[in-house]
A and B are shown apart, each in its own frame.
Chain A
Amino acid sequence: MRRNRWGTAAAAVAAAIAIAGCGRAADEGGTAARTTEATAQDALALDPTTPPATGDVDAITWATYRPVQTIDPIQAFDYPDNTAVTLLCESLLRQHPDGSIGDGLATASHPDDTTLVLEIKEGATFWDGSPVTAEDAVYSLKRNMDERLAGFYGSVFARVESIEATGEREVTIRLEQPDTWLEGELSQMPGVVVQKAYAERQGKRFGTPAGGTMCTGAMKLDAWTGGDALVAVRNDDYWGERPSSVGRVELRGVPDDANLTNGLLTGEIDGTYLAGPLATADQLKASGEVTLYEGPSYATDALVVSAAEGPLADVRVRQALSKAIDRRAYIASAYKGTALLPRTLANPGTWGYGRDVFQADWDRLPEPELDVEAGRRLVEGAGATGQTITIGMTEEIPNLATVAQVVRTAAEAIGLKVKLKAVSAANYINFFVDPKAWSSVDAFPTVNYPDYADPAAFYATFALPGGSQNYSGYENPRVTELLEEARTTADPQRRAELVAEAGDVLAEELPWIPIVAPATVLIMSNEITGAPASFSYMGAPWADTIGAKG
């Protein structure tokens, strides 16, 4: 699949030189032309799928922003590693492209509200042909909770009392109190089933290039050179309904945007899910070689407020800052239009249940409008005019640097002084994990997402006391009550109402300030189709439906 085209490539190259030359992927939001009206309402109707494949395709090369580092599901926590696990493995439950959760390797039932029974489907087998047993499933789930394995999802099982094999293919999970969130997690990395015998045999090497993995998916691991390409081939004995329509997938880390662009233009790379905005998106779109699909995303581009005191601890100042952010310009310049104005902190792509409830709530809420004057008055009212806020940022991640500048422009416009605290890209994570780092600043930008499609899964991390990302110690008893009730409410409509109400309060009080709600951007060669266009690829198979375009 090799093609040539002169004009578009020249434009792409010019853009690529611009990136390479100055290390910035996007114009600064404040100065950008407002070319596109943000198409908020259209964006809500984003299609989570791409047209189905009409035939098989032999082999494709798929890019991730860096090489795959692990295929152990309990430590898969970032785009490339999740993409590799979902290429190969399957979870007990499955999140569909539209965010709904259904049967996966198993069927779930609830004898009572503190018992979850998972019946593994008859005929389900690993790549080596051996049947998936309840013992494999229990082993896989418990790996998450084994502290020696240092898995990243242990807290997901906080309400679990016991996990037992209660039959050849039956797993019973008993809960200390009802927990609807657990099922969401079981459709993602924490619910992936690996073969017990294989994992035990590999020991510490399991999930690494030296040890590989043994899963159940429609594609099986063929070769993996650490830090380089991971190759999966069709599992001809796949137990599920239909075999993969793609014969071979090579996952390749392509960290350089110019290289990614050229690879897509020459056909050496057949597709990718973008992990962040791509400066050459417009050129790729215009090239006619590839198609850009925008699908629902779980991610929110937001400003984390970590200040427990000072101006940003005052809700009026947060509201003022939110009013002064020029979101439309930022969407046009950085995201090339592939994001929408956020009315809540959660992206509409997270509405995995109770869609109509969330939709009605969204329609009621106002679209965030640029109103610097109102912001200035709010800051005056709070007596914060002339006070200084410190924003943590890094120049090395263009998108975060741009957001920091956008926020700075907004804050200065409403009478605040701004200090930027720049750190290296590698150190940026410290704002999220080191109390010293996050308390040294008042706020820092992030693109953040919940594990599965549920606004509550996102809110809980920063709006509940003790939440993993609640840096400012935000607490609102009403929000806590609503989210706790939602967690124990089985009825999805009722749960959506509770979560939506909590979302309304958070949209008002802004413990974090949403900047924009990006779309999932999937780029595929015009010769293939069939991959889901939504964020679901982070937790469920995405490659086996890819095939030839009719």
Chain B
Amino acid sequence: MVAFVLRRLALLVVALLVSSFVIFAGLQLAPGDPLAALSGGRSLPPEALEALRAQYRLDDPFLVQYGNWLVHAVQGDLGQSIAQRHDVATIIGERIGVTAQLVALAAVIILVAGVGLGVLAGLRRGPVDAAVLVVTTLLAAIPSFVAAIVLMSVFAVQLGWFPAVGAGDGFADRLHHLVLPAIALAASALAIVARVTRASVREELEREHVETAVSRGLPRRLVLRRHVLRNAAIPIATVSGITILSLIALSAVVERAFGINGLGATLVQAAAAKDLALVQGISLVLVAAFVVGNTLVDLVYAVLDPRVTVGSRAA
């Protein structure tokens, strides 16, 4: 267990180092000027541009810039956002909460509704199964920005049940604001999880030991819990883990559509403006979240199936 955690920590450090270099290099190679975001598309006086270039050391060679960034980052200083004229760490700190809450709420929706629908469809052939198939096909086909617009128009604009803009303050208000975005974010992932759940439940139902258990007259409830769901849980956990982790990146689209100032929306804005330090900072948080999330999924395997030793992935 200790070795596992250490291995994962080492992996995290390597992943952060590699991705920080790749992102830095990518942004450097991409054409564009980080100072452009300050002007709103009019010409800026050359003297001011020069002073700003010197202030942010934009004319240093690439490796020097990266080295500088790395030395500061290791000491916990993620640098300054050029466009927002603010510490990157502060910016991230102010936004990470709402994105985490959004993804968490979406994850709850995926796990409850996705797994629930999948089990239901897997166990009940006929109209229920068909209905779930139709609904999930539809959901899987809807991109999150369309889901956002439709949800907003129906539940925010016409019915007025939920707000259309922003993230709200305080727990209840925040939850109220995040319901629609979380549904928009969860919709297509929910469909995938439901489909995989349905398939693995079906597969387990047809296994010999399950049929044997049923034929021996064991209570259906017990068979389902011990033999079907338990064995179906590993593929379900795998696909749920991956889809939920992918939401971290997808949240950008939904955040923008609902005017939520989260990490994703900020990352998109920063990338468009070539705001190097901010892109770096947010990307690293996302990479770290992904690595940590994957580790958690692996731990879940071990809990679900004692035969799985921590660190070796089940098939």
Q: Residues of A at under 8 Å CB distance from B?
A: 2-6, 9-10, 12-13, 16-17, 20-21, 66-67, 69-70, 75, 77-79, 147-152, 154-155, 207-210, 225-229, 252-256, 258-259, 262-263, 265-266, 268-269, 423-430, 432-434, 446-449, 461, 468-469
Contacts and interface: CB of A to CB of B under 8 A. Distances in A.
B43 A469 contact: yes
A5 B153 CA distance: 10
B164 A268 contact: yes
Given A17-B146, A78-B38, 10 more contacts: A13-B150, A13-B153, A20-B149, A150-B49, A226-B81, A227-B95, A254-B165, A256-B257, A256-B259, A433-B33
B10 to A, nearest CB: 34
A12 B158 CA distance: 12
B45 A147 contact: no
B176 to A, nearest CB: 12
A268 B49 CA distance: 38
Interface string B259-294: 101000010010011100000000000000000000
Interface of B: 31-33, 36-49, 51-52, 55, 81, 83-87, 90-91, 94-95, 145-146, 149-150, 152-153, 156-160, 163-166, 256-259, 261, 266, 269, 272-274
Contacts of A469: 42-43
Nearest to B49: A433
Contacts of B83: 69
A229 B166 CA distance: 10
A216 B87 CA distance: 28
A66 B258 CA distance: 14
B48 A468 contact: no
Contacts of B146: 17, 20-21
A473 to B, nearest CB: 15
Contact of B165 (A16, A75, A259): A259
A399 to B, nearest CB: 11
Nearest to A268: B165
A207 B86 CA distance: 10
Contact of B86 (A13, A79, A208): A208
B129 to A, nearest CB: 31
Given A227-B84, A227-B266, A266-B157, A259 B257 contact: yes
Contacts of A21: 146
Contacts of A6: 158
Given A228-B261, A430-B36, A432-B43, A13 B149 contact: yes
Given A13-B153, A67-B261, A4 B159 contact: yes
A254 B259 contact: yes
Contacts of B85: 69-70, 207-209, 226
B218 to A, nearest CB: 52
B166 A252 contact: yes
Contacts of A70: 85
B31 A66 contact: no
A66 B265 CA distance: 11
